[in-house]
């Protein structure tokens, strides 16, 4: 989902395909002929939606911007327009929807910020490695899971196993709650640094954000594993298996 693979194009102006006039990249409509502009530059959801590059976003504000821009770009309103405008409307609507989805939650917002600030992307390979801050918990959990699997194979009561699994996830749940807080705190620090801090200070914050994000992904994977075990522990409660944290 992160647009890491997208080359940042060194374009500072757009050319309107309808009238040929030039337009600043942050414009959505041509200042000359007021037609919708083709999506020339990719990569920054914040500026596209008209927000500063900050991690604290008021949900109501994001929703309002999303609705307002949807009303401007949506392909529904371009049925009778020229082919160039129709393509532009599809591109801008899609990009808006992608931006809205990424900015709606803190973790995806951070991922996007890391990408546009030139940080290496959070790959799944890297997320599979146990983060050093979690070694103890992961070790304990794996032992517990092994024991639970063994007792299930020897026919132990499934309700008791489910209860054990639930208590096994408690320390992990606690870790996750702590992580959410750390992410929030780092996000506030970033927001305060955007305009004033030195590049090195900002870089340090971004690296800390990235590390927390990797840990968070790892924790989520662990929780998914536990939920799968709960689902297959024979209590018949399949629904918990499809819930995601």
Partner 1 sequence: MGKVVGIDLGTTNSLVAYVRDGAPVVIRDGSGDALVPSVVSLGEEGTIYVGREAQRRLLTSPGRTVYSVKRFMGRGIEDVRDEAALLPFKVGGDVGGVVRIGLGEREFTPPEISAFVLRELKRRAEDHFRDQGEFDFEVDRAVVTVPAYFNDAQRTATRDAGRIAGLEVLRIISEPTAASLAYGLDTRDRGTIAVYDLGGGTFDISILRVEDGVFQALATNGDTHLGGDDIDRLLVELMLRESGATANGETIQAIRKAVIQAKWDLSEHESTEILVDPLPAYRRRITRGEFEQLIRPLVDRTLGPVKQALADAGLEPREVDEVVLVGGSTRIPLVRRLVEELFGRTPHSDLNPDEVVALGAAVQADILISGRREMLLLDVTPLSLGIETIGGVVSKIIMRNSTIPATGREMYTTSVDNQTAVDIHVVQGERELVADCRSLAHFKLRGIPPMPAGLPRIEVRFQIDANGILGVAARELRTAIEQAIEVKPSYGLTDQEVERMLMESFEHAQADFDARLLIETRNEAETVINATEKSLRRPDFEALTSGELKAGEVDRIHAALSDLKQVMGSTDRDLIHAKTEALNHATKHLAEVVMNRSVREALAGKNVDDV
- Are 32 and 71 within 8 A, CB to CB? no
Tell me the CA distances in angstroms from 117 to 75, 123, 187, one per residue in order.
Answer: 31, 16, 14
| 98 is a site residue for partner 1 (CB under 8 A) | yes
Q: Which phi-psi region, left, alpha or beta, contains residue 113 (left: φ > 0; alpha: ψ -120 to 50)?
A: alpha
Q: Please tell me the distance from the alpha carbon of residue 54 to that of residue 115, in angstroms, as a whole number.
A: 14
Question: Measuring CA to CA, which residue among 95, 135, 113 is closest to residue 55?
Answer: 113
Q: Tell the smallest beta-carbon distance from residue 143 to partner 1 (Å).
A: 26
Residue with tokens 């517990």: 144
| 94 is a site residue for partner 1 (CB under 8 A) | yes
| 47 is a site residue for partner 1 (CB under 8 A) | no
Nearer to partner 1, 177 or 242 (CB): 242
Contact segment (CB under 8 A) with partner 1 among 25-33, 75-83, 173-181, 209-217 equals 75-83
- Are 161 and 208 within 8 A, CB to CB? no
Handedness of CA 207, 186, 117, 38 (dihedral sign): positive
| 3 is a site residue for partner 1 (CB under 8 A) | yes
| 241 is a site residue for partner 1 (CB under 8 A) | no
| 8 is a site residue for partner 1 (CB under 8 A) | no
How many residues bind partner 1, per CB under 8 A? 26
Nearer to partner 1, 67 or 149 (CB): 67
| 6 is a site residue for partner 1 (CB under 8 A) | yes
* Interface pick for partner 1 out of 38, 90, 156, 163 (rule CB under 8 A): 90
């Amino acid at each position: 989902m992160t647009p890491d693979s997208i080359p940042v194009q060194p374009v500072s102006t757009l050319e309107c395909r309808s009238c040929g006039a030039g337009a600043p990249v942050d414009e959505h409509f041509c200042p000359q002929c007021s037609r919708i502009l083709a999506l020339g530059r990719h990569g920054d959801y914040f500026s596209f939606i008209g927000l500063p590059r900050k991690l604290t976003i008021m949900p109501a504000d994001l929703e309002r911007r999303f609705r307002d821009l949807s009303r401007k770009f949506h392909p529904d309103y371009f049925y009778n327009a020229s082919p160039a405008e129709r393509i532009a409307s599809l591109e801008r609507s899609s990009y808006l929807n992608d931006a809205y989805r990424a900015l709606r939650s803190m973790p995806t917002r951070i991922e996007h910020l890391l990408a546009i600030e030139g940080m290496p992307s959070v790959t799944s390979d890297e997320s599979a490695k146990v983060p050093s801050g979690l070694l103890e918990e992961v070790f304990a959990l794996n032992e517990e899971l092994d024991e639970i699997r063994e007792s299930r194979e020897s026919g132990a009561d499934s309700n008791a196993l489910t209860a054990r699994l639930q208590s096994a996830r408690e320390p992990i749940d606690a870790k996750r709650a702590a992580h959410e807080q750390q992410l929030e705190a780092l996000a506030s620090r970033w927001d305060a640094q955007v305009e004033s801090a030195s590049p090195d200070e900002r870089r340090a914050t971004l690296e800390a954000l990235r590390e927390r994000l990797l840990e968070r992904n790892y924790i989520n994977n662990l929780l998914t594993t536990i939920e799968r075990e709960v689902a297959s522990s024979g209590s018949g409660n399949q629904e918990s298996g499809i819930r995601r944290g």
